[in-house]
Chain A
Amino acid sequence: AQTVTQSQPEMSVQEAETVTLSCTYDTSESDYYLFWYKQPPSRQMILVIRQEAYKQQNATENRFSVNFQKAAKSFSLKISDSQLGDAAMYFCATFPASGTYKYIFGTGTRLKVLA
């Protein structure tokens, strides 16, 4: 069975600073996808970044980047130049490339951005 672990229930970062949210996962799949979603107080689930496991290059989207360590099954999210609007719950998720067709989510990390 696939599992996703986010060991930091809550993190804080000063505005304009950098923060890293950790995520580890366990899967027996050889091919899969990894995602970070953001859920602000509005409740909307917003895709932040996506990584294909077969790609060695870390995905980047503007101020958001990942550190994907496939052997260690680690998929951390780095947010640079943090902004007040980054405050939200962040969920890590895995998705197999075949078979069960469903996301497995972690328990989330609440990020607070301090002005």
Chain B
Amino acid sequence: AQSVAQPEDQVNVAEGNPLTVKCTYSVSGNPYLFWYVQYPNRGLQFLLKYITGDNLVKGSYGFEAEFNKSQTSFHLKKPSALVSDSALYFCAVRESLGGSSNTGKLIFGQGTTLQVKP
């Protein structure tokens, strides 16, 4: 069964410092991996994805994520955090075509609240 784990309920970081939000996954086939961000009273906004190719993917608002197949991880990173980055972050996974499910179902982690303090 597919699953995603975000081991930290909350991450606190000072503005200007680098941030990391952790995500590990489990799928039977090759993974497609996604990060979404949710601001209060808003829907989930797409940040970035890993499909294939370069393990370091860059996304919106200066975020990037590193795919590590051996550690089954896809941690979200940003070199210099902003107060406006404070939000709820979700990691999600789906199997690529050829797995038992190819209908686009995303499996989400439980979310990590990022708090950036001035």
Q: Do these two chains really belong together in a complex?
A: no
Residues of B within 8 A of A (CB): none
